Amino acid sequence: MNGNSQRSGTADGGVATPHPSSSMCDVHVGPSTSAEYNTIRFPLLPTACWRLEDIRFEFDSSFINASAAEEFKNLASLVRGLPGAPLSVFGHADPVGNDDYNKKLSGRRATAVYAMLVRDTDLWEDLYSNPMGGDNWKDNAVPIILQDSGYPSETPAAEKEGIKMFQAANGLPATGSADRATRAKMFLVYMDKHCRDESGKPFKVEKKDFLARGEDPGGKGDYQGCGEFNPVLMFSKEENEELSKTDNKEKRDAENAPNRRVLIFMFHPGNQVSPGDWPCPRAKEGISGCQKRFWSDAKTRRTFQEKHREYHETQDTFACRFYDRMGLNSPCEFSTLVYTSVDLFFQRYPGIDPASGIQGLEYEYTTAGCLPIRGTTGADGKVRIRVPVGESATLKIMGSEYRVKSRPGLEPFNKIKGVQQRLIMLGYNARVATGTMGPYAEYAILQFQADNPTLKIDGLPAASTMQAIKDKVGE
Amino acid sequence: MAEYIVKQGDYLSKIAANYGFRDYRIIWNHPQNADLKKKRQNPNVLYPGDVLFVPDQEMKEIPAATEKLHQYQVQAKPLALRLELRYASNKPMAGVECELQIEGTAYPLTADGKGRIEHDISPNAGNGKLKIKHPEITFPEIPLKIGHLDPVEEVPGWKARLNNLGYAAGPVDDQETAQLRSAIEEFQCDYFKDVNQVDGKCGPKTQAKLKEAHGC
């Protein structure tokens, strides 16, 4: 088994991770001598979450960028690893602008993500035909999709050609004008191209696999916008005054970017909500439903205060109490890196051929407080585990149990300890990374050098060997 | 006459049994306990610190011929643990199979149309576990602390009931945290039509509603 670790976080465009949910603690009940019952009602708790950053959308728009494919790939693994866990999508906006506009814009983003997952091109057509403020798909959706598929689109004439070519390739009358039917096909092609699982197959979710099972035509329970009510970070009063100056508009938008995210919560299998019971208004509706669920001190929460506040530190930036209860302790609602993912490669022999991965192995891993995630290795024999930084996961595979611990970082590649750590990761038995050369370390180096024809086989950690080890590990 | 100070985890049937009484009502209906009875109402939901007067045992003399088998019926009200199970949507878990473990013994039960299960328990039962055998419910076993439900007038009583009703108020103690306030507000929001009733404070009106919603 070889190991390779990589980081993911807000810089990459999203997060996909299990949730350490607040599981049911002790239930205190009273015995009865007459007819009193103790009611036990199972809470609606997220078991996993996924976050798509603002950078994956066109600016001020609900149109999803091709680069979001990476996040959708991670979502696919998460969804497949938690069979039966229903989803609900929450779009968010930043505090700039008015409540109503922001609610609708965040609702449009949530709608776009939902539609992508279920392949509902009518919903995208609705977004296209009904622009709102700066969110106007008519500006560039068609050219973007054309270019993405390799068709010309840079000028109006080229675009017309591009559309004709697309239409011809897709069995549509080649008019050169993107009518409704053409757009529907374009949307579908784009969705299939960028919403795929790790093996490259299109990834689709059924409407019935969402929290309200698609029962409401307006998506109540399945997707909604929270507007600006639940930011993950709130500027201090001073910062806000500074950033509100006209010159600083770009800076403010950049600083506010973490707030403009789309979240998906996945709940325990078996959870189901009837739209009538769900407190969140529909994506297209106004804010009064949200206001009913505000904290009693929502006004304070929504005001820029003395200090700069971030949700994971102060836990007081969300105005909606209902959302707050789901977001509490969510690894997706941090504004900084909180988790890391580890790729483990299961191969027959260490270090030789990355293509000799063992396919079809069933595995299951658990992190403290989370539901087990199941999967099967693909052709590359890879298992990707997401672990909160500093925590460990238990992986069961091939009849064995491994404890996978996320670590803060490797020692530099040109220090003995770093060499030892990396050799261990590559599957060479250097035993313990002590920082000093010993017989095991020497033997491991010999083996590594033997596997790498360009190196001299002398068991010594020379610069070329250290570099080669570093390259093999990837960091 | 003995004075007994209630400890955490005590409930009247247990106290009665410890004093050798088969029927808790002998204690509960005693005039010296009238105030406590009025205050607490439910003899199985007492609070640590409550003072209970335990009357002396009266020896009953019953003439009985020797070398003959005599049957006596002991008047005692059966003590049971009664639970009503609901999904997050508040629909009853009708027909769901469960396993109720009380002090180590497991009883397979099926919830009725109202999601109710119950089983007799001995007066000393304190710990239990509930397992729901439902392919979709993946909660591991739920630990039950029998007899540890505090009265609804007290903070731990609020917290226990809010937790049981799915409002995650935090650990059952007397700490009035932000999480507790959020749970109270959520409860008030769900159970009172008027948005003005949502104040995050568990006053008498909210307590009454909480007791009604929880069942005891």
- Looking at per-residue confidence, does A21 or A331 come out higher? A331
Q: Return d(Cα A346, Cα A356) in angstroms, integer.
A: 9
- Looking at per-residue confidence, does A39 or A346 come out higher? A39
- How close does chain A come to B71, measured CA to CA in Å? 25
Where does B42-120 have alpha helices with state H? none
Residues in chain B with pLDDT values less than 70: 58-65, 68, 70-77, 135-140
What's the pLDDT score for residue A11?
39
pLDDT tens digits, residue range A91-136? 999 999 899 999 999 999 999 999 999 999 999 999 999 999 889 9
- How close does chain B come to A201, measured CA to CA in Å? 27
B chain contacts of residue A22, beta-carbon cutoff 8 Å: 168
- How close does chain A come to B119, measured CA to CA in Å? 10
Closest residue to A41, CB basis, from B165, B179, B216: B165
What's the pLDDT score for residue A208?
95
Cβ pair B83:A29 closer than 8 A: yes
Q: Return d(Cα A179, Cα A184) in angstroms, integer.
A: 9
Does pLDDT of A3 surpass 50? Answer: no
Chain B residue with CA closest to A321: the answer is B182
Mean pLDDT of chain A: 86
A chain contacts of residue B145, beta-carbon cutoff 8 Å: 26-29
- Looking at per-residue confidence, does A269 or A465 come out higher? A465
Domains and CATH numbers, chain A: 14-20+43-119+204-333 (3.30.1330.60), 339-405 (2.60.40), 416-473 (no CATH)
Query: Taking the model in full, what pTM does it have?
Result: 0.73
B chain contacts of residue A321, beta-carbon cutoff 8 Å: 182, 185-186, 189
Closest residue to B88, CB basis, from A43, A315, A371: A43
B chain contacts of residue A40, beta-carbon cutoff 8 Å: 83-86, 130, 142, 164
Per the CB < 8 A criterion, the answer to whether A68 and A117 are in contact is no
DSSP-based three-state secondary structure for A16: strand
**CB under 8 Å to A171, separation ≥6 — which residues?**
none
A chain contacts of residue B202, beta-carbon cutoff 8 Å: none
Rounded to whole angstroms, what are the CA distances from B100 to B103, B121, B194? Answer: 10, 11, 38
3-state helix, strand, coil in chain A (%, to 5): 35, 20, 45
What's the pLDDT score for residue A108?
97
A chain contacts of residue B23, beta-carbon cutoff 8 Å: none
What's the pLDDT score for residue A9?
31
Chain B residue with CA closest to A35: the answer is B82
Residue B99: both structure tokens together: 């396993």
What's the pLDDT score for residue A6?
34
Rg of chain B on CA atoms, in Å:
20
Instruction: Using the structure block, give the residue that is written with the tokens 């149309």.
Output: B113
Does pLDDT of A414 surpass 60? Answer: yes
Domains and CATH numbers, chain B: 2-54 (3.10.350.10), 80-145 (2.60.40), 155-214 (no CATH)
Residue type for position A338: V
Cβ pair B138:A269 closer than 8 A: yes
Please name the residues between 25 and 64 in chain B that touch chain A, using a CB distance below 8 Å: 42-45
The contacts found for B99-104 with CB under 8 angstroms, 24 or more apart, are B99/B129, B99/B130, B99/B131, B99/B133, B100/B128, B100/B129, B100/B130, B101/B128, B101/B129, B101/B130, B101/B131, B101/B141, B102/B127, B102/B128, B102/B146, B103/B127, B103/B128
What's the pLDDT score for residue B41?
85
Per the CB < 8 A criterion, the answer to whether A2 and A350 are in contact is yes
- Looking at per-residue confidence, does A337 or A40 come out higher? A40
Q: Which residues, listed in sequence order, are joined to residue B117 by a DSSP beta bridge?
A: B83
